Amino acid sequence: MTTPRSQRLHIAIFGRRNAGKSSLINALTGQSLAIVSDVPGTTTDPVSKAMEILPLGPVVLIDTAGIDDVGELGQLRKKKSYEVLEKTDLVLLVIDPEKGFGEYEKDVVKRAQETKTSVLYVINKIDLYPEAKKSDYPEPKVFVSALTGDGIDELKQALINHAPKDWTLPTVVGDLINPGDVVICVIPVDKAAPKGRLILPQQIVIRDIIDSEAMAMVVKERELIHAFNYLNRKPSLVVTDASVYNKVAADTPSDVRLTSFSILFARYKGDLQTLVEGVTAVKNLKPGDKILISEACTHHPVEDDIGRVKIPRWLRAQVGGELEIDVKAGGGPLPEPLNEYKLIVHCGACMLNRKEMLSRIMQAKKAGVPIVNYGVIMAHIHGVLHRALSPFPHLQAIIDETRKDMKEEIEILSRLKKRIYD
C-alpha cells in the first residue's frame, strides 16, 4: 500500500535563489524532478515530491522559492514558502558558499524556531568552493555538491540522524486494543468516497487493527445488531462513521466501548483534548456569531455535505437563529484574523500531516478561539459525546464537568432508540 502523503516526514528545502535547492532535490531522489536553471527565481510556488529515503522511510521533499526573492511577486512567493513551515518536520537550509550565512539565512532559522522545526545546514557547491569546509557554519551541517553527488550519502545519513524523534504518528487505534480482540467498524456507503473504495480514515483504522494482531469486522449500520448476534463474544471496540452515531449508539451495548473514525483521527493527527474542550463553546454561541468551517482537502461538495450543510444546519438549530458561516478549504494556515470567529469546526484532517494540524490548533489557541472537529461536534449535537469518548475516560471527565445534568444524554439516547425501533 502506498504511504499517504500526510503520513510522511515532511522535509522543506530553503535557501537563496540559485543556491542549488532544486539540484539538491534531484540529487537526493536520483531523478530530474525539479527544474534546474541558472536564471534566478526558477522555482516559484513550493513543489512537493513523495519519495523514500531508506532507512528513514517515506518522506515528502518540498522545494521552495528563493528566500532572497525580490519585487512584489517575490514577496508573495516568499510568503508561500514560509507557510510551508507550518507542515514541515525538518528544514534543509541550503547555503551557497559565495553568499555565505547572512540575514536571509538567519531569518529562516528564526522562523523555524518559532514553529519548533529542526534545521539541518547544507553547504552546497563544494566542487566549486572546496575551501568552504574550512569556513565557520552552524551545526548540524553537511557539505555537498548537488552537481557531482559528493556528500549526498552523508546528507541522507544526516537526515536520518536529525529527523525529529517524535514525528512518527502515534498508532490510530492499536493502543486501545489487544491482540486477538475483535473490533467492529461501522461503515455506511459514503457519497463522497470514490465508488468501490473506503475513505482514508477507514482504510488506516482497519490496517492498524490488522497490524495490531486484532480482527476487524466491517459492517454497514443496519447490520450492526446482527453482527453482535453473530459473534460468540463481545467486541473490544466499535468504531463508527460519525454520520450514523445515533443508530450505532442505540444498537451498541452500554458495556462495549464506542467511538468514531473522526474522533480517532482527532487524536491521531492532533490534540483530542483541546478539540473536546472546544465543543464546550457551542453552548455559548448566539445568533449572528461567525463560525469558521475548515476543511483540509478541496473535495467537491456533495448533497447534504457534512461540513457545509449538516453541521451549519445543526448549529443554527442549536442557537435558534442565523450564524455567519465561512468555509476555508485546502492546506496552509487558517485565515486571519481568527479572533473574529467564535468557533472553528475542523474536518478530520486525514489529508494533513500531524504537524500541520497541531499548528492549526496552536494558531486557534493563540487567537483565543475554541476549535473542535467534525466527529466531536457531531457526537455532541446528537447527545452521544460522552458515549463516543468511552475509550478515553479522562476526556469523559471534561464533558461531565460542563454538562448540567448527565441524565440529559441518557434521555436523548432513550428517545433515539424509541424513534429507531418504533
Q: What is the pLDDT of residues 198-236, one digit of tens each?
A: 888 999 999 999 999 999 999 999 999 999 999 999 999
pLDDT band at 406 (very low <50, low <70, confident <90, very high): very low
**Which of the following CATH numbers is that of domain 270-381: 3.40.50.11410, 3.40.50.1820, 3.40.50.300, 3.90.1300.10?**
3.40.50.11410
Summarize pLDDT for 251-291 with one digit per residue, the tens.
Answer: 999 999 999 999 999 898 888 999 999 998 998 999 999 99
Q: Where are the domains of the chain?
A: 5-162, 270-381
**270-381 shares the fold of 5-162:** yes
Kindly report the average pLDDT of the chain as a whole number.
86
Band the pLDDT of 197: cuts 50, 70, 90.
Answer: confident
* Predicted confidence (pLDDT) per residue in 79-135, tens digit: 888 999 988 999 999 999 999 999 999 999 999 998 889 999 999 999 999 999 888
Give the integer Cα–Cα distance in Å for 376 and 419.
Answer: 23
The answer to whether 92 touches 11, Cβ cutoff 8 Å, is yes
pTM exceeds 0.85, yes or no = no
Which neighbouring-strand residues pair with 121? 93, 141
CATH pick for 5-162 out of 3.40.640.10, 3.40.50.300, 2.40.10.120, 3.40.50.1980:
3.40.50.300
Please give the C-alpha separations between residue 69 and each of 17, 18, 41, 104, 239, in angstroms, as whole numbers. 7, 11, 7, 10, 49
Task: Please list, in sequence order, all residues whose beta carbon lies within 8 angstroms of the beta carbon of residue 108, skipping any fewer than 6 positions away.
Answer: 14, 67, 91, 93, 119
Q: Which of 218-227, 321-330, 344-353 has the lowest mean pLDDT?
A: 344-353
CA distances (Å), 202 to each of 8, 277, 315, 375, 393, in order? Answer: 18, 25, 26, 13, 23
